[in-house]
């Protein structure tokens, strides 16, 4: 089975979030940046209404939840937490922007940028 990589803006409840397919190289580059961050204790992610963060995923085995203060890296065999920072958040936002060639989600990206940076 071929792996699929995507990036998603976690905004909505009850309807599908905006998501775009990305390349393995882009996923791996951001993953590599994240695993060099300072580790954090297990922490609850924000799960309320409104913008909850950016999710990167690889098929059904790896999920990266990027939030304002914490990043959760979930693989098929473990979960790790890292301290988030504006550099990683900006890279994730720019990655989404790069794949949104038609600017379909420009208003949401602007809202994310205002809220997180």
pTM listed for this prediction: 0.94
Tokens of 110: 């602007």
Residues 42-85 have pLDDT tens digits of 999 999 988 999 999 999 899 999 999 999 999 989 999 999 99
pLDDT at position 1: 60
Has residue 116 been placed in a domain? Answer: no
Domain carrying residue 61: 5-111
Has residue 10 been placed in a domain? Answer: yes
Q: Count the alpha carbons within 13 Å of 13 in the hemisphere toward its beta carbon.
A: 6
What is the enclosing helix (H) or strand (E) of 20? Answer: strand 19-22
**Per-residue confidence band for 116, with pLDDT thresholds at 50, 70 and 90:** confident
Number of domains observed in the structure of the chain: 1
Provide the total of helices (H) and of strands (E) in the chain, helices listed first: 3, 7
Which residue in the block uniquely carries the two structure tokens 């940076």? 117
């Amino acid at each position: 089975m071929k792996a699929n990589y995507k990036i998603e803006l976690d905004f909505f409840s009850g309807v599908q979030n905006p998501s775009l397919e990305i390349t393995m190289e882009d996923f791996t580059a951001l993953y590599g940046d994240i695993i060099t961050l300072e580790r954090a204790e297990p922490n609850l992610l924000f799960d309320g209404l409104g913008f909850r963060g950016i999710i990167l995923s690889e098929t059904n085995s790896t999920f990266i939840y990027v939030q304002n203060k914490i990043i959760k890296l979930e693989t098929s065999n473990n979960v790790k937490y890292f301290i988030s920072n504006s550099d990683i958040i900006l890279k994730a936002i720019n990655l989404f922007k790069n794949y949104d060639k038609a600017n379909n989600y420009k208003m949401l990206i602007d809202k994310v940028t205002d809220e997180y940076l």
